[in-house]
Chains A and B, each alone.
Chain A
Amino acid sequence: MTAVDLEELVRSTGEWLRGSGPESDVVMSSRIRLARNLADYPFITRASPADRTEIEKTLREGIRRLTDEMHVSYLDVSKLEGLDRQFLVERQLISREHADSEGARGVAIDENEQTSLMINEEDHLRIQVLKSGFDLTAAWQRINSIDDLIESQVTYAFHERLGYLTACPTNVGTGMRVSVMLHLPALVITRQIDKLFRSLQKISLAVRGLYGEGSQAMGDFYQISNQITLGRSEEDLVKQVSEVVPSIIDYERKAREYLVRESKQNLHDRVSRAYGILRTAQTISSEETMHLLSSVRMGVNLGLIPELQIPTLNQLFIHTQPAHLQKLSGSELDTADRNIERARYLRKHLNPADGAAEKN
């Protein structure tokens, strides 16, 4: 296994921000994760440091076949600096919980950042597959085959009646979370987003912010996922989320059309002001950046800013995150310095006159 070159990763944008794939004007990415545990070790809360080390070793060995076949590389998360761990969280390759916990743990990542395998997170193993745009079927096929491959090497904790056993009973059964990340700025502006959330909750779907549980919906990004994991097949769970997404896409597009039709001037003004601030600010917070980029992204999708491309914007979303910004600038910065560096980075990439708009 080769080590992941983090410096190399910093300069790219990652699968979920590639900005391609089906319905990518509204759907950023599709993600599926499976929670698995080894049958012969206690769950993480009751695992001794020695257990954790052995679990890590066993699983690392168990995924070796996979890593040989798929150009997957392995990172020992317990040995990474805080900044590098935060970087992986921003990239959605590890969870915040995994970054902040202690003891033996690691993550295997494939070369195009579609697959990540977290060892010793809340469960012994968390398999995640990400696809750009709305593509849950492809994500399920891929994760299913990865799961089969690992299962041929290790013995999972499985119960005849309850299915795959997980540390938290909210994941038992399939251990599967199916989610799509949506960009819903027009539903936020037209104040229809709460209505949407309530109707999703009624059909047992959860709504979360950009970085999962407990995070805020920064930049009008929302993750919709299943809550139920027991009593339905994996295909049913994929279907449940897949069936509801087209109507949300439709709802968001209608709201955008409505804004264009009823208040084009206001909309154009909002988008242009956001663009103006991003191109000229001298110091800017991460939150404000996300908020403004969200307006600009919608403007680009509606053809209001012809000179900008979605992939460029997606790159700005990720590169202006705190850890990315520090990795790119090559030094650790406090909040005030980060805000100055962020503004500098945005000016450089949004002013074509500087001749750097499409370059790194």
Chain B
Amino acid sequence: MKCQKCDKPATFHITELAGGKPKELHLCEEHAREYLAENEQQEENEEAADPAESLSQQLAVGQTVEQLAKLDKQACPVCGITFFDFRSKGRLGCSHDYVCFEKELEPLLVNIHGETAHAGKRPKRSPTDTDRLTDLIRLRKELKQAVQSEEYEKASQIRDEIRRLEGDKK
């Protein structure tokens, strides 16, 4: 892939999540630097604009097209969202995404919060077995698929499994 501003190969891939509409940019190093500097300048100048929105959330800076394409196809086994879906919408699909995209989300969290670990309140009840709870999300999805493809025997097994897990939860 070529840089959008010159003929050099694009080595920087930037996704702006600001303002609700995602914007993709593929730039060479020189133009990426220029773009980011401009962006900073713009933020300084944007007076009444919402600083939360102009907070550009850059992802995947410095990754090759191949790496990025591979990353984009990665999907969460629980909710099925791909990393590309997240990059284009800015919203995650389920709590398991924080686990399965952990490495990819980390630079983003550092960018937004400057920290990667929670330091506040915790639920008083121990947050029971989180894996078991995400299992419920996965099973409900499988149940729907089984019903759609008319695999009723499988569906009834899944339903029993869901009931068992929900029983444990209480």
Nearest opposing residue in chain A for B117, CB measure: A161
- The answer to the question of A46 belonging to the interface, with a C-beta cut-off of 8 Å to chain B, is yes
Bitwise, A151-174 to B at CB < 8 A (1) or not (0) is: 110011111111111011110111
Binds A, one of B5-13, B45-53, B66-74, B153-161: B45-53
Report the Cα distance A271→B128, complex, angstroms: 60
Task: Determine which of B53, B112, B122 lies in contact with A228 in the assembled complex, contact meaning CB atoms within 8 Å.
Answer: B112
Q: Does the CB pair B114–A167 fall under 8 Å?
A: no
Q: Does the CB pair B120–A173 fall under 8 Å?
A: yes
Q: A43-B95, A46-B79, A162-B98 are in contact. Are A233 and B121 (CB under 8 A)?
A: yes
List the B side residues contacting A197 at CB < 8 Å: 47-48, 51
Task: Determine which of A50, A164, A229, A231 lies in contact with B116 in the assembled complex, contact meaning CB atoms within 8 Å.
Answer: A231
Q: Which of B83-112 contact A (CB under 8 A)?
A: 89-95, 98-99, 105, 108-109, 112
Q: A207-B51, A232-B119 are in contact. Are A122 and B91 (CB under 8 A)?
A: yes
Q: Does the CB pair A227–B98 fall under 8 Å?
A: no
Task: Determine which of B48, B99, B137 lies in contact with A41 in the assembled complex, contact meaning CB atoms within 8 Å.
Answer: B137
Nearest opposing residue in chain A for B99, CB measure: A159
- The answer to the question of A329 belonging to the interface, with a C-beta cut-off of 8 Å to chain B, is no
- The answer to the question of A335 belonging to the interface, with a C-beta cut-off of 8 Å to chain B, is no
List the B side residues contacting A228 at CB < 8 Å: 112-115
Distance in angstroms from A321 CB to nearest chain B CB is 21
- The answer to the question of A355 belonging to the interface, with a C-beta cut-off of 8 Å to chain B, is no
Bitwise, A60-79 to B at CB < 8 A (1) or not (0) is: 00000000000000000000
Report the Cα distance A233→B115, complex, angstroms: 12
- The answer to the question of B167 belonging to the interface, with a C-beta cut-off of 8 Å to chain A, is no
List the A side residues contacting B140 at CB < 8 Å: 51
List the A side residues contacting B125 at CB < 8 Å: 151-152, 155
Distance in angstroms from B81 CB to nearest chain A CB is 6
List the B side residues contacting A155 at CB < 8 Å: 123, 125, 127-128, 133, 169
Report the Cα distance A144→B112, complex, angstroms: 24
Report the Cα distance A50→B141, complex, angstroms: 11
- The answer to the question of A348 belonging to the interface, with a C-beta cut-off of 8 Å to chain B, is no
Distance in angstroms from A176 CB to nearest chain B CB is 8
The residue among A45, A206, A214 with the most chain B CB atoms within 10 A of its own CB is A45
- The answer to the question of B22 belonging to the interface, with a C-beta cut-off of 8 Å to chain A, is no
- The answer to the question of A217 belonging to the interface, with a C-beta cut-off of 8 Å to chain B, is yes
- The answer to the question of A266 belonging to the interface, with a C-beta cut-off of 8 Å to chain B, is no
Nearest opposing residue in chain A for B19, CB measure: A214
Nearest opposing residue in chain A for B89, CB measure: A45
Distance in angstroms from A228 CB to nearest chain B CB is 5
Bitwise, A204-225 to B at CB < 8 A (1) or not (0) is: 1011110001101100000000
List the A side residues contacting B57 at CB < 8 Å: 170
Besides A173-B118, A207-B51, 4 more A-B contacts (Cβ < 8 Å) are: A167-B91, A168-B92, A208-B50, A209-B48
| Interface pairs (20), CB distance under 8 Å | A45-B81, A45-B93, A155-B123, A156-B127, A158-B123, A162-B98, A162-B118, A163-B121, A167-B91, A169-B108, A169-B112, A172-B113, A173-B120, A194-B47, A216-B48, A227-B55, A227-B112, A231-B113, A231-B116, A233-B121
